[in-house]
Amino acid sequence: MILRREISGLHQYDRESGLHVLLDEVKIPADEAAKRGPRHLSVMLTRRCNLNCPFCYVDKSDRAAPLGFLMDVCNAATELQVLDVTLGGGEPTLYEAFPEFISYAWQNHTFGVSVTTNAVDISPLLEVAGMLSSVRVSTDERIRPLGGRLRGQIARLSEVHKVGANVLWSHGSSSWVRETIGDLASLGTRDFLLIPEHDHGRYLLSESDWQDLDDFVCNHSQDYQIMLTSDASARISMPILNTERDNEFLFAHIDESGNIRRRSWGPCVGRTTGVRQIVHGLQKLNPLRRDRHEDLV
């Protein structure tokens, strides 16, 4: 269990059950909350990938994060009371020290550990059974639709991990998304993150696509646990439960070379090496301090 003291209140998180409890009646001084890191920290293990999706924003290469650097990131995340570290890429399961790093992070820290994967090869994920808070499988209509093999991979993962899905909502894909989410739910997938297709932050959806997305969320929010990327939430008419203040520190990203970003696809705002630099760099991104620290790292 992590107890995080943030500007929104006293936040408790249990990585085994996935339970979040926010005691927003508890007032945390702004100076103290300004020392926190993000609730969720995304970490790129490698730029290697076994797919070549045209909508992916990552520049592919063989570069990978040194294992010692990743351990420093974990130590910094613990110090900053990060709730969840999400591992991505590229394809994170291609990281050579994947089982070793997962074992280290799970056994030596209390934050949640999640992996976002295309599930082409699930053997590394089966090897770390019991050491992940969740596995998030990415699917889309064009490159990685829910065919027979992927269906089988997800069913096997659901036997040993909690599985969620990242579903790309692209132009004209509403019918496919509806069918796919129903199929995924039958396989034991517990939640769905809908990601409107974009090109480095510029959305590629038409107004009718946005209307279809809005209709889907409004009509199916009682049937499924549906999440949206933060920017997309503003385009949805159905109120979404707000669990943070406007200046809460929600997300940051670190790539394999130590570059820090406010968004996974955004510009680099600084480079870090070592625990102290990582702590310092992430603290500067806290909205409670950001305006005073535009010269980041």
**pLDDT, tens digit, for every residue of 176-225?**
999 999 999 999 998 999 999 988 778 999 999 999 999 999 999 889 99
Write phi, then psi, for 144 (nearest 5 degrees). -130, 60
Q: How far is CA 287 from the centre of its chain?
A: 19
- Decide: helix, strand or coil at residue 231: helix
Q: What is the pLDDT of residue 291?
A: 55
> pLDDT of 20-66, one tens digit each?
999 999 999 999 999 999 999 999 999 999 998 888 889 999 999 99
Q: What's the sign of the alpha-carbon dihedral 85, 86, 87, 89?
A: negative
Rounded to whole angstroms, how far apart are CA atoms 83 and 68?
A: 21
Token pair recorded at residue 233: 């939430």
pLDDT range class, residue 126, cuts 50, 70, 90: very high
**Where does 221-295 have alpha helices with state H?**
230-233, 275-285, 287-290
**Banded model confidence at residue 152, pLDDT cuts 50, 70, 90:** very high
Per-residue pLDDT band at 296 (split at 50, 70, 90): very low
Contact between 15 and 50 (Cβ < 8 Å): no
* Backbone angle region of 258, left / alpha / beta, with phi > 0 → left and psi within -120 to 50 → alpha: left
pLDDT digits (tens, 9 = 90+) for 57-80: 899 999 999 999 999 999 999 999
pTM of the model: 0.92
Q: What's residue 156's pLDDT?
A: 96
Tokens coding 23? 């005691």
Q: Round the average pLDDT of the chain to a whole number and report it.
A: 92
CA-based torsion, 93, 98, 101, 104: positive or negative: positive
Structure tokens at 225: 């646990």
- Tokens coding 29: 């001084």
